[in-house]
Chains A and B, each alone.
Chain A
């Protein structure tokens, strides 16, 4: 494993751009080779948009970091060609236990929806996801897709102009300048891009400290999420144990405020903490550990001129609930098709604004969830702790109290209910497929609905007549005609029809629903399409 971390997967090599007299202009430059930057670049390239990804490093992350991926991000990774690898390498789990002290107070199981291709969650280390995305980039390059990843390229200065951005890039062989029509900054919570542009990042800093560790351990423990409130091995604090692929286990220990971070991060101190948690008989090897504190912040606007922020650079949350990388992947998903349309002239630049509107709502929801979980796990006042402990005491015997136990609400898909791209709901259909919501998956014989949506707009018809394709101002919509008669599992009916005899849906390239009604109406449909592309 150590070997993988150190191997340069995208080592610096000289680009022809460095030998040009004048700065070369690129349609899109992405900064940062974490999951969000890589996914953004892959999504753009597979849709034919030329993209250059700049990273000051050349290898994948050390340690598991973001390691729990929810259903919607898994669907996104599937759409951008990484599904097979995720399914192969990811570890599926659905059960968990909650402890108070050393007593188990209850266990739970996430109900899996059989109508969906992807499970509710998979655990996979961030470095493994990065490796999968880099492999995907190499595959795209073999197919001559327009994607470049430049390691050892550190952006030192950014100039903002009306219709482009200038980047001064430092390399081992000196600096050079390039230009980008659009810059996507995926350079993390401490975003140098944000700093260089002097944009504030406001929010709440939490005083608490956490130790996260990856250990290698051969054990027959089940792949369950175990969460402790006030365990004997970490009194007054919390602890979390989860299985990762490859006999690795992830441990998160709350350390409280006022600690010596350097002292706590020393391997001998980490090991002795883990020893008291896992017992003297446990045999394990410490692979990676980090001590950190966190904050909940977001930029007021994710778009500054021609610079767009995505992932942690735009919004940072606490780690409870796996809402960092999961939100970042949804940012990438939301942004890529909009950039493509705008660059190709199929939509006005105003469409990009909807990225901020839709994703900022989602960031606020994640922050609220994150603040709620933090308050439950680390109560701020004596009264808050008394209430929390009362919930935990009642949760042992009563179901109603379990619903209040919050050890991190795991990520759920964002529904863009207030998006300006939505058309008014014109179908008395199921709530889950209302305009703005992510298109629910459904089995279609030997494959799934999301498999056949592709990267463009889709006109989904269920027992309704419509043209096979519609073109409106250079945007092409392809029809997918389905029938309730073939819907053996009734999933399609349950999710898209309800009590209606027929339905037509306009589905965006990021698999969100833009409009729906009972039958096809050319005028209304074209208006909905214009609205969904920022033209109305």
Chain B
């Protein structure tokens, strides 16, 4: 498809502080119930999606997430 031509999905390191981001993400869930956490994740996802804005890129990201090896089950 034309996805990679119009909006390449960045899959190499792009975060300026990978450890810092990951810690902030995990810490944001501290003390929340499962359903509060789920809601937070959903809000975060929507905010980030709007920040990206490009549907072609977002679709590429969704497809990438869906086709990645089912890591959580295979560990």
Q: Tell me the A residues contacting B by CB distance below 8 Å.
A: 386-387, 389-391, 393-394, 400-401, 404
19 A–B pairs (Cβ distance < 8 Å), ordered by A = A386-B35, A386-B42, A387-B42, A387-B45, A389-B39, A389-B42, A390-B39, A390-B42, A390-B43, A390-B45, A390-B46, A391-B46, A393-B43, A394-B43, A394-B46, A400-B50, A401-B46, A401-B50, A404-B46
Q: Which residues of B contact A400 (CB under 8 A)?
A: 46, 50
The 0/1 profile, CB within 8 Å of A marked 1, for residues 30-60 of chain B is 0000010011001101110010000000000
Kindly list chain B residues whose C-beta atoms are within 8 Å of the C-beta of A386.
35, 38-39, 42
**Majority secondary structure of chain B interface residues (helix, strand, loop or mixed):** helix
Top-10 shortest CB links A-B:
A390-B42, A400-B50, A390-B43, A386-B38, A386-B42, A387-B42, A390-B46, A390-B39, A394-B43, A394-B46
- Tell me the minimal C-beta distance from A390 to chain B in angstroms: 3
A390, A394, A400, A401 — most chain B CB neighbours (10 Å): A390
A382: nearest residue on chain B (CB-CB)? B38
- Provide the residues of chain A in CB contact with B39, threshold 8 Å: 386, 389-390, 393
Contact with A along B1-44 (1 / 0, CB 8 A): 00000000000000000000000000000000001001100110
Q: Determine how close the nearest CB of chain A comes to the CB of B41; give it in whole angstroms.
A: 8
Residue of A nearest to B43 (CB): A390
> In whole angstroms, how far apart are the Cα atoms of A393 and B45 in the complex?
13
How many whole Å from A200's CB to the nearest CB in chain B? 32
The closest CB in chain A to the CB of B44 belongs to A390
The range of chain B's interface size is: under 10
Chain B residues with CB below 8 A from A401, complex form: 46, 50
In the complex, A88→B60 CA distance in Å? 50
Residues on the A chain within 8 Å of B38, using CB: 386
A34 to B70, CA, bound (A): 53
Given A389-B39, A390-B46, A393-B43, 7 more A-B residue pairs with CB atoms under 8 Å apart are A386-B42, A387-B46, A390-B42, A390-B43, A390-B45, A394-B46, A400-B46
Query: A404 to chain B: which residues have CB within 8 Å?
Result: 46
Chain A residues lying within 8 Å of B43, measured Cβ to Cβ, are: 390, 393-394
A400 to B53: give the CA distance in the assembly, Å.
10
Q: Which residues of A contact B46 (CB under 8 A)?
A: 387, 390-391, 394, 400-401, 404
Closest chain A residue to B50, Cβ basis: A400
Closest to A393 in B: B43
Residues in A with CB closer than 8 Å to B42 are 386-387, 389-390
CB B12 to nearest CB in A, in angstroms, measures 28
**Nearest CB of chain B from residue A386's CB, rounded to whole Å:** 5
